[in-house]
Amino acid sequence: MRQAEPVFKSLLFFACLLPVIVLAWQWWWDLLGANPVESVTHETGIWTLRLLLLTLAVTPLRKITGWSGVIRIRRMLGLFVFFYASLHLITYLWLDQFFLWEEIWFDIGERPFITIGFTAFLLLVPLALTSPTIVMRWLGGKRWQRLHRLVYVAAIGGVVHYWWLVKADVRSPQIYSLLLVLLLAARVLYSRRAAGMPGFGFLHFRFRA
């Protein structure tokens, strides 16, 4: 399994990069529909959320499968989350608002879904900046782990941002909300079991070491 990891990581890297390649190709050939800015905003936002949930799934996956090597892809996934979140924000600032800062600050202050989306992005910034191993060593393992718990708050903010944006047909946000709840419940369950505490009844299952 360890020998196959470089190949797996390379394939995963390409898979994470593929959405933005497709977007660029669609933009170049004018295939993004009547409102290309809206399409780019939606796609970069939805891929931010998907990759964020995938990042949160790494630890439960390791516990369930016993594959410890999956942890080594978490940093790459996290950086791709920040990459797509940055593209999402830049699309809004540049292509939607044309860097009209007065309008941008008004939106952030007055439109709740933008407020919480911008807050979620700010929470991702320190996580991206502290992702290098040298920074983690400088901070120390415990402080680094405490800081990176902000990812849970950012994920909740991302789901709420999407839900409030959609407003009417909330089926898609509901799916992402359910996935997030399951991932957070798995994290809490694992923490309780690691501390020797009982599980939650119907969620009581045994993680493999």
pLDDT tens for each residue of 55-65? 999 988 888 87
Range 147-154 contact pairs with CB under 8 angstroms and sequence separation of 24 or more: 150/123, 150/124, 150/126, 151/52, 151/55, 151/56, 151/78, 151/123, 151/124, 151/127, 152/56, 152/184, 152/187, 153/120, 153/123, 154/52, 154/120, 154/121, 154/123, 154/124, 154/127
Q: Does the residue 208 lie in any domain? A: no
pLDDT tens profile 42-92: 999 999 999 999 999 998 888 887 777 778 899 999 999 999 999 999 999
Q: Is position 135 within any domain?
A: yes
In the predicted structure, residue 185 carries a pLDDT above the cut 50: yes
Considering the domain boundaries, does residue 82 fall inside one? yes
207 is a domain residue: no
Q: How far apart are CA 121 and CA 58, in angstroms?
A: 21
In a domain, 206, yes or no: no
Task: Find the domain containing 15 and state its range.
Answer: 5-198
pLDDT in the model for residue 189: 84
Q: Is the sign of the CA dihedral 165, 32, 89, 72 positive or negative?
A: positive
Q: Is residue 28 part of a domain?
A: yes
User: Is residue 172 domain-resident?
Assistant: yes
- How many domains is the chain partitioned into structurally? 1
pLDDT at 202 over 60: no
What confidence tier does 204 reach under pLDDT thresholds 50, 70, 90? very low
In a domain, 140, yes or no: yes
Higher pLDDT, 160 or 9: 160
